[in-house]
Amino acid sequence: MNRSLARNLVAGLALGLILAGTAHADRGQPAGIDVPAYITKALTDPARAHDRANDARRRPGPILALAGVKPGDTVIELVPASGYWTRILSRIVGPKGHVYAVTPVEFLKVFPKAADKVKVLAADPHYSNVTALVQPAADLKIPKPADLVFTAENMHDYNNASFGSLPPKALATEVLKALKPGGIFLVNDHVAPKGSGLSDTDTLHRIDPATVKAQVTAAGFVFVGASDVLRNPKDPHDIKVFDPSIRGHTDQFVYKFRKP
């Protein structure tokens, strides 16, 4: 094998590992998750080149494969922030789909510029299928029922007084109304100590997965699956997610719920 071919094979393997989400040693392994070609294509979009350094740790391929998002879907993304997930979702759903990137108005009281980046993104012709919205946390509304509501690392924030005082059941009730029958609610967040409930949402920015599952199903959803791709057994769970020793490597759960 010549050196040029070997380099190409190594580069191809590295890209494949990033797309599949298997390149981060302290994360779980997404065994058995088939990432569709349209998700892979979205991840390789040149417009998100600056995002790719985070793909290995954030695992967008297997997470969005679990969500089941596909071309033509209507998606609500809660708390889009810098637009990392928005850019991917936009390219997946394509010209026949739409992404509503929703920033709760309460967030702006704490972070006045929280919606600025996604508004700029939505104004970019490359993302013409994205609409940036600012709404009350307890009044989620879009023009038509959604196929998917997606939130990453933010359900715990909704529970806090400064961000709307919506515990998981209350947030899930809003989401339920916004989804079409059979629609999916995909939740990803930082793991809090077992049995801690909602006590760490403001202090550590974590939430107990068991509490999330119990409250979201109590709101009327059916729990249909989970992924371990963001699990990290080295996370002690009792330190703030911004602590330098764990930031970017927290133990996280990924839960999939369906509206009956």
pLDDT at site 32: 62
Any idea of the CA torsion for 186, 100, 248, 136, to the nearest 10 degrees? -90
Could you give the count of Cα atoms lying within 13 Å of 72 in the half-sphere of its Cβ?
0
Q: What is the pTM of this model?
A: 0.89
Beta carbons within 8 Å of 251's beta carbon, 6+ residues apart = 190, 191, 230, 231, 232, 233, 234, 235, 237
Give CA–CA dist 81/115, Å, rounded. 6
pLDDT at site 10: 34
pLDDT at site 108: 93
φ, ψ dihedrals at 228, nearest 5°: -100, 15
3-258: CATH topology: Rossmann fold (3.40.50)
pLDDT at site 19: 41
Per domain, the residue ranges of the chain are: 3-258
Cβ-based burial of 168 (10 A; exposed 0-12, middle 13-18, buried ≥19) = buried
Residues pairing with 75 in the sheet: 99, 148
Per-residue pLDDT in tens (0 to 9) along the chain, 260 residues:
444 433 333 333 334 433 444 445 556 655 567 899 999 999 999 999 999 999 999 999 999 999 999 999 999 999 999 999 999 999 999 999 999 999 999 999 889 999 999 999 999 999 999 999 999 999 999 999 999 999 999 999 999 998 889 999 999 999 999 999 999 999 999 999 999 999 999 999 999 999 999 999 999 999 999 999 999 999 999 999 999 999 999 999 999 999 99
3-state secondary structure of 205: coil
Query: Rounded to 5 degrees, what angle do the CA atoms 166, 80, 107 make?
Result: 45
Beta carbons within 8 Å of 30's beta carbon, 6+ residues apart = 20, 21, 22, 59, 61, 62, 227, 228, 229
